[in-house]
Amino acid sequence: MVKNWEHLISGKLEYNFKCVPAGLMFSRLKREFGKNSSQDNVRKLIDEAYDFFIKYESILGDDIKQIFK
């Protein structure tokens, strides 16, 4: 599952989010990944994305099902 998060952040997995704020957040995370792709930074970015998905799980249900099927 960590690979899915890493692929989303790196841009290897392209996904058009139904939830606009999630799409905006991942655009920013991709830019940050492009500036620094070290393992420490990747872990920080994954943690940020995961926390966002946990916080807004109720409105991101469709996106979560598609990404992590």
Q: Does position 52 have pLDDT exceeding 80, yes or no? A: yes
- pLDDT tens, 9-41? 999 999 999 999 999 999 999 999 999 999 999
Q: Is the model's pLDDT at 2 over the cut of 90?
A: no
- Whether the pLDDT of residue 3 is over 90: the answer is no
Does the pLDDT at position 59 exceed 80?
yes
Show me where the domains of the chain are located: 2-67
| C-beta pairs of 12-15 under 8 Å, 24+ apart in sequence | 13/67, 15/63, 15/66, 15/67
**Where does the pLDDT of residue 1 fall: very low under 50, low under 70, confident under 90, or very high at 90 and above?**
low
Axis crossing angle, helix 20-35 with helix 39-55, rounded to the nearest 10? 170
